[in-house]
Structure 1
Amino acid sequence: MARPKGELPSADALRVLIDQEGRLALRVTPGAKVEALEIVEDRLLVKVRAKPEDGKANDAVRDLLARALGLAPSRLELLRGATSREKQFRISA
């Protein structure tokens, strides 16, 4: 996976977006030119270079989120949106 361009949002800024049950909703743009995490209007937007084939984009999103949160990728579970741009992950602390 390519390194994200620029700074990632702080883990604290991302944790504010996680609900009480540990769920994080986000919108993904696969096949982007650069990898990035952005918070726009209290919503997380994720851009990954990976194409949406065979779960590659989902894996790239999980890895990028894990890096930004300072967690192992195995601590993030995709709950909803395996084939959608709108996704929801559960973060286990």
Structure 2
Amino acid sequence: MKTETLKITLAQRILSISDNALLEKLNTYLNKESIIGYNADGTPINEKDYLEDMKAINEKIDRGEFKGETSNEVKKFIIDENSLEG
């Protein structure tokens, strides 16, 4: 089924639903599946996966297992990389 046809079919089905509990489930599902960004390779990032990743990173930070770079380290890396091109 083509995308536009599928959208119309789904919209018609949703409009015919009178069960509020089912509508709430659909709303919850759609909110969890919302795309909030994209990875560098172009794959989408949904809200649920993003929040799970952030939770895992925060847990590593709390356990002292995460080593991130400071702003100055990142700035130095960018400057050094750009100086190689010039």
Normalised by the size of structure 2, how large is the TM-score?
A: 0.23
**Structure index of larger Rg:** 2
Pick 1 or 2: higher relative contact order, CA cutoff 8 A, min separation 6.
1
Greater helix share, structure number: 2
Higher percent of residues as strand: 1
